[in-house]
C-alpha cells in the first residue's frame, strides 16, 4: 500500500513506544472492574476473575501481539498481597523458560498518585489444564505424557533456581492449541532457604503433600512432586484424586489409597501431636493405582506411585521422574535446561513498608518502560536492581527460541476445543443460570402485588370497584373473600415459565450488549437499552402464553380450575392463537419498557457508584429506580395488554381489534383517560422491589458463578 513502510520498519518503530503513545490511557470494563491501560493495549475479552486479580486478553496495537493483562486491584492495601505481587514479579523477571509463563510488561500508572493498581502483562495462552480435564475433550495417553513431561521440565528449571512453586494445580498450568504448557501463578512461590515461608498458606488442599497437611516445620521440592502426582492422577481419571473437604478428610483420603505409613516413614514429622494422629488412624492397605486406573498406561501408573509416596525423602525427584520410562520418548537431558543462576530475594519482606514495596514495583515498571514516561519516584523508596537474573530481554519481551519438541511432530492432535463465547467473564450458559434464578425470585416473590394489579386493570368500566381503589383495601378485600390462596392463583404458571424465560432474557441481553459495545467503559446507555429490547423479543415468546394463563387465573371468580384446565379450555374454545393474541401488544409495551429499564439501570449505577466496584446496594437501588420509572411511564400500554389478554373472561369487554392503538382509543372513549392509568400504583409498587430483587439476584448469581 502506498505510503506504508515495510513490515520490518513497523516492528522496529513500535518496539519502543514513544512517550506520547505511552502517556495516553484509556478505560474499559472487565467483569465489573475498571481497567486503565495505555492506549496501545486494546481489550479483546475477559478471561477470568479470581481472588488476586481480574484477567482479560488484549492486543498490542503497535506490535499486533495478543497478550493477557492481569489487574491486581488496590495492590498495596494488604501487606501480604503486596509482598506476594512483588515476589511474583521478581521471580518471573529472573526466569526465562519455555514451560514458565513469560511476563511481558508491567503497565505504568497514569500518574504516581494513581498508582494503587498493578497491571501485569503476560503472554496469552488459550486455556488451562483444569478446563481441559473437566471438558468432554478426549485425552490420549500421549497427551498425558506430553503434559506431565512439560510440567516436570519446567519444574526442573524452577527448582534449579532454588524456587519452590508451592501451588501446582491444573488451573495453574496454561495451555495453547498446540498443547504447549506453561506454569503460572508464582504468588506463593518461595526460595528453599527462606524461613518465613513455612508459616504461610501453601498449595490448594487437594494437591497438598502430607508434610504440609501435618504442619511440618521444614519441607523441600518434594511438595511440588506430590502435586504433579495428583495432577497425573486427575489426567488419568478426569477427576481429582484426593478431593478432601478439610485437612483431616484430606489425610484420610490419602491413607485410604496409598496406605497407612509405617513408623519408619514418620521421622519427617516434627510435631508429636501430628505423629500421634497418624498413628491413631485405622490401618489401611495400599490400593494399587492400577486398580484405580485399570485402563491407564502401566508406566504412567508406576510414575504416579513413585510421586505419591508419604515420606517426602522417598519420593522420586524431578530429575529422576524425567528419566522414567513413561517419558522416554520425550526425555532429552540436553533440552532440559537448568536456571543459570539461583534466585535470591534479599529483602526482609516482613518489615518492608507499603512505600518501599510500591517503589520496588515502580522500578520493575521502569525496567519494562525505559522511556521517560513515568513521574519521578518522589517519596517512594528506591529499590535495588533485580539480583543476578536475566535483565530486560529473554523473559521480559524478546521471543524465546521455539520448542525443540512439538506437538505436531509427536502426532498429537489439537488438544483444545474453543470455549463457549464469554461475556463479562461468564459463559452464555452461566448467564442463563443467573437469569433463571433471578426470574424465579422476582416473579414468585412479587406475585401477590401482581395479582392486585391485574384485578384493578381488569375492571371493564369505572363503575366497578374492588371495595375501594386503594391498593391496601383491594388487598384486604381479596384476602377476606378468597384467603391468601387468592393472591397466588396461577403462581406455578409463572414459576415454571419465569426460569427459562429469564434465562434466555438475560443471556440474550448480555450477548447483545457485548456486540453493541455495552461492556466498554463510557458506553452510551442506548447500548444497554437496545440490548434489552432485543432480549424482550426472545423472552416474550416464552412468557406471553404463561402470562395469559396467569392472568385468567388471577381474576376474581376465575372460571378455570388450575393451570391444566385453563390451558385445555382456552385451546379448545379459542385456539392456540389465544395464547399469543397479545404478543404483538406485549412487544409494543415491553420493548419501550425494557429499553427504559435497562438504560435507566445503567445510568443509575453510574450515578450511584464508581465503575471500579459495583456493590449490591448500588445494584438494588439502581434496579428499583429503573423498574419504577419504566413501569410508571408504560402503564397505559400495560392496561391495553391486560384487557386484550382477558377479553371474554367473566363477561369482560371484547375488542374489535387486537391492535394497540384501536384498543387504547376504545378505552379512552368508553372510560376516560384515567382508565389508562388504572393500576399504576400497584404496578409501580410491584416493579420497584421486583426489579431490585431481580437485579440483585442476577448480579449476585453472576458473582457466585464467576468466583466458582
Closest to 446 (Cα-Cα) out of 403, 487, 500, 493: 487
Residue 264: DSSP 8-state: G
Residue 109: DSSP 8-state: P
| Distance between CA atoms of residues 174 and 188, nearest Å | 17
C-alpha cell of 309? 509416596
Q: Are 530 and 480 in contact (CB under 8 A)?
A: no
| Distance between CA atoms of residues 389 and 96, nearest Å | 9
The 10 Å Cβ neighbour count of residue 479 is: 14
- Convert 384-438 into a string of H (helix), E (strand) and C (coil): CCCCCCCCCCHHHCCCCCCCCCCCCCCCCCCCCCCCCCEECCEEHHHHHHHHHHH
Closest to 117 (Cα-Cα) out of 186, 160, 158, 70: 70
| Distance between CA atoms of residues 311 and 544, nearest Å | 66
C-alpha cell of 217? 516445620
**3-class secondary-structure state, position 107:** coil
Could you tell me how many helices (H) and strands (E) the chain has, helices first?
A: 24, 14
Query: What is the DSSP secondary-structure string of 488-516?
Result: GTTHHHHHHHHHHHHHHHHHHHHHHHHHT
Q: Are 195 and 345 in contact (CB under 8 A)?
A: no
| Distance between CA atoms of residues 642 and 663, nearest Å | 11
Residues in CB range of 603: below 8 A, 6 or more apart? 525
Task: Give catalytic residue positions.
Answer: 167
Q: Are 224 and 155 in contact (CB under 8 A)?
A: yes
Q: How far apart are the first and last CA of the chain?
A: 49
Q: At what angle do helices 447-457 and 680-707 cross, to 10 degrees?
A: 150
| H or E element, residue 141 | helix 141-160
| H or E element, residue 321 | helix 318-322
Q: What is the CA radius of gyration of the chain?
A: 32
**3-class secondary-structure state, position 33:** strand
| Distance between CA atoms of residues 38 and 369, nearest Å | 12
Q: Is 27 annotated as a binding residue?
A: no
Binding residue ranges for ATP? 71
Binding residue ranges? 71
Amino acid at each position: 500500500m502506498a505510503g506504508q513502510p515495510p513490515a520490518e520498519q513497523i516492528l522496529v518503530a513500535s518496539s519502543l513506544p514513544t512517550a506520547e503513545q505511552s502517556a495516553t490511557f484509556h478505560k474499559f470494563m472487565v467483569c465489573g472492574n475498571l481497567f486503565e491501560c495505555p492506549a496501545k493495549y486494546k481489550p479483546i475479552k475477559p478471561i477470568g476473575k479470581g481472588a488476586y486479580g481480574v484477567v482479560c486478553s488484549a492486543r498490542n496495537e503497535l506490535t499486533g501481539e495478543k497478550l493477557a493483562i492481569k489487574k491486581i486491584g488496590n495492590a498495596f492495601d494488604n501487606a501480604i498481597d503486596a509482598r506476594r505481587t512483588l515476589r511474583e514479579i521478581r521471580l518471573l523477571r529472573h526466569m526465562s523458560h519455555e514451560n514458565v509463563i513469560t511476563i511481558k510488561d508491567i503497565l505504568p500508572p497514569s500518574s504516581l498518585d494513581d498508582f494503587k493498581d498493578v497491571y501485569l502483562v503476560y503472554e496469552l495462552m488459550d486455556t488451562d489444564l483444569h478446563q481441559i480435564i473437566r471438558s468432554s475433550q478426549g485425552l490420549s495417553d500421549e497427551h498425558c505424557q506430553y503434559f506431565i513431561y512439560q510440567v516436570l521440565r519446567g519444574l526442573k528449571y524452577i527448582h534449579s533456581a532454588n524456587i519452590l512453586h508451592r501451588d501446582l494445580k491444573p488451573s495453574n498450568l496454561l495451555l495453547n492449541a498446540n498443547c504447549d504448557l506453561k506454569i503460572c501463578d508464582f504468588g506463593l512461590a518461595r526460595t528453599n532457604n527462606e524461613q518465613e515461608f513455612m508459616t504461610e498458606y501453601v498449595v490448594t488442599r487437594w494437591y497438598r503433600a502430607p508434610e504440609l497437611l501435618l504442619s511440618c516445620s521444614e519441607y523441600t521440592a518434594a511438595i511440588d512432586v506430590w502435586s504433579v502426582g495428583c495432577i497425573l492422577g486427575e489426567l488419568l481419571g478426569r477427576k481429582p484424586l484426593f478431593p478432601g473437604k478439610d485437612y483431616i478428610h484430606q489425610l484420610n483420603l490419602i491413607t485410604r489409597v496409598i496406605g497407612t505409613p509405617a513408623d519408619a516413614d514418620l521421622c519427617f514429622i516434627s510435631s508429636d501431636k501430628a505423629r500421634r494422629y497418624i498413628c491413631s488412624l485405622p490401618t489401611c492397605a495400599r490400593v494399587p493405582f492400577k486398580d484405580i486406573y485399570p485402563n491407564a498406561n502401566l508406566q504412567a501408573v508406576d510414575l504416579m506411585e513413585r510421586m505419591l509416596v508419604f515420606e517426602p525423602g522417598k519420593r522420586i525427584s524431578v530429575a529422576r521422574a524425567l528419566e522414567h520410562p513413561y517419558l522416554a520418548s520425550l526425555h532429552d537431558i540436553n533440552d532440559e535446561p537448568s536456571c543459570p543462576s539461583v534466585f535470591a530475594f534479599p529483602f526482609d519482606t516482613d518489615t518492608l513498608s507499603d512505600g518501599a514495596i510500591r517503589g520496588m514495583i515502580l522500578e520493575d515498571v521502569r525496567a519494562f518502560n525505559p522511556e521517560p514516561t513515568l513521574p519521578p519516584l518522589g517519596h517512594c523508596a528506591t529499590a535495588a536492581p533485580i539480583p543476578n537474573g536475566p535483565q530486560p530481554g529473554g523473559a521480559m519481551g524478546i521471543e524465546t527460541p521455539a520448542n525443540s519438541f512439538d506437538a505436531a511432530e509427536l502426532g498429537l492432535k489439537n488438544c483444545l476445543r474453543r470455549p463457549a463465547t464469554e461475556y463479562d467473564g461468564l459463559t452464555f450458559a452461566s448467564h442463563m443460570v443467573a437469569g433463571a434464578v433471578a426470574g424465579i425470585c422476582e416473579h414468585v416473590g412479587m406475585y401477590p402485588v401482581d395479582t392486585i394489579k391485574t384485578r384493578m386493570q381488569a375492571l371493564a368500566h369505572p363503575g366497578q370497584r374492588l371495595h375501594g381503589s386503594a391498593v391496601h383495601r383491594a388487598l384486604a378485600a381479596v384476602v377476606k373473600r378468597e384467603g391468601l390462596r387468592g393472591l397466588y392463583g396461577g403462581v406455578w404458571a409463572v414459576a415454571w415459565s419465569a426460569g427459562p424465560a429469564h434465562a434466555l432474557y438475560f443471556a440474550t441481553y448480555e450477548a447483545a450488549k457485548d456486540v453493541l459495545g455495552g461492556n466498554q467503559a463510557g458506553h452510551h446507555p442506548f447500548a444497554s437499552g437496545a440490548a434489552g429490547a432485543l432480549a424482550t423479543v426472545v423472552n416474550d415468546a416464552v412468557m406471553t402464553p404463561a402470562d395469559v394463563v396467569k392472568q385468567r387465573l388471577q381474576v376474581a371468580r376465575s372460571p378455570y380450575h388450575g393451570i391444566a384446565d385453563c390451558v385445555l379450555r382456552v385451546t379448545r374454545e379459542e385456539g392456540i392463537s389465544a395464547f399469543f393474541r397479545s404478543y404483538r401488544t406485549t412487544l409494543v409495551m415491553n420493548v419501550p419498557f425494557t429499553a427504559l429499564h435497562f438504560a435507566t439501570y445503567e445510568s443509575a449505577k453510574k450515578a450511584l457508584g464508581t465503575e471500579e466496584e459495583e456493590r449490591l446496594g448500588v445494584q438494588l437501588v439502581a434496579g428499583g429506580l429503573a423498574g419504577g420509572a419504566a413501569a410508571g411511564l408504560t402503564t397505559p400500554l400495560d392496561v391495553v395488554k391486560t384487557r386484550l389478554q382477558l377479553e371474554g373472561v367473566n363477561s369482560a369487554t371484547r375488542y374489535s381489534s387486537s391492535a394497540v392503538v384501536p384498543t387504547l382509543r376504545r378505552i379512552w372513549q368508553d372510560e376516560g383517560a384515567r382508565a389508562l392509568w388504572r393500576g399504576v400504583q400497584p404496578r409501580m409498587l410491584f416493579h420497584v422491589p421486583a426489579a431490585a430483587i431481580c437485579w440483585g439476584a442476577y448480579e449476585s448469581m453472576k458473582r457466585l458463578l464467576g468466583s466458582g
